[in-house]
Amino acid sequence: MQDIIEGFLQFQREVFPKRCELFKRLAASRVVPELLTQSEPGDLFVIRNAGNIVPSYGAESGGVSATVEYAVAVLGVTDIVICGHSDCGAMTTIASCKCMDHLPAITSWLRYADSAKAINQACAHVSETARIDSMVRENVIAQIANIKTHPSVALGLEQGHLNLHGWIYDIEAGSIDALDGLVGQFVSLADYPHVSATQSVFHHGI
């Protein structure tokens, strides 16, 4: 995991400054994890979908559930990153309460962010931008809670060989905030490169 974080720090130091105008133009686009972490092909096992959603484990297992299980139980993945990003279209739609009656599949999919939506709606926000930023943060937290319901993930956390990370990538600024699971707050990954959403050592009382 530290190689991935070091890759991001290299991206932030060396790649982003040279292409910052391009990233500003692409601020509403999607994240490219391999570029962001300066990883080689095959280094990352990536699941991409609208809203960085991870459905809770249940009887109706879908592609995300199967992929998570394969990554953890078969490939032996030791770190999972739930990565949201600034100006996320899915989170903007939820935060703005836009009607999506004409998009039933998307509406159904985004219900996996309902807990984040409820928390976000209960908070006061100084602006619409702040409302959307808060929704992005709350959704990362909600999806971390969702992925913990998967048996392979729960077992990996219990046995101490799996760690979860919650990241928010600011596309325009080229920075990442990471969830500090000990305090429940997002902090700069550049300042706190060892932070994670779960701390297995504390989980086991060591």
Annotation: binding site: 85, 88
CA atoms within 13 A on the CB side of 55: 17
How far is it, in rounded angstroms, from Cα 185 to Cα 195? 11
Collapsed DSSP state (helix, strand, coil) of residue 151: helix
How far is it, in rounded angstroms, from Cα 60 to Cα 128? 35
How far is it, in rounded angstroms, from Cα 163 to Cα 179? 12
Could you give the residue ranges of the DSSP H alpha helices within the chain?
2-10, 20-25, 33-36, 63-69, 89-95, 104-109, 114-122, 128-147, 151-159, 200-203
Which candidate, 57, 37, 55, places its Cα nearest to that of 46?
37
Annotation: binding site for Zn(2+): 85, 88
How far is it, in rounded angstroms, from Cα 150 to Cα 55? 9
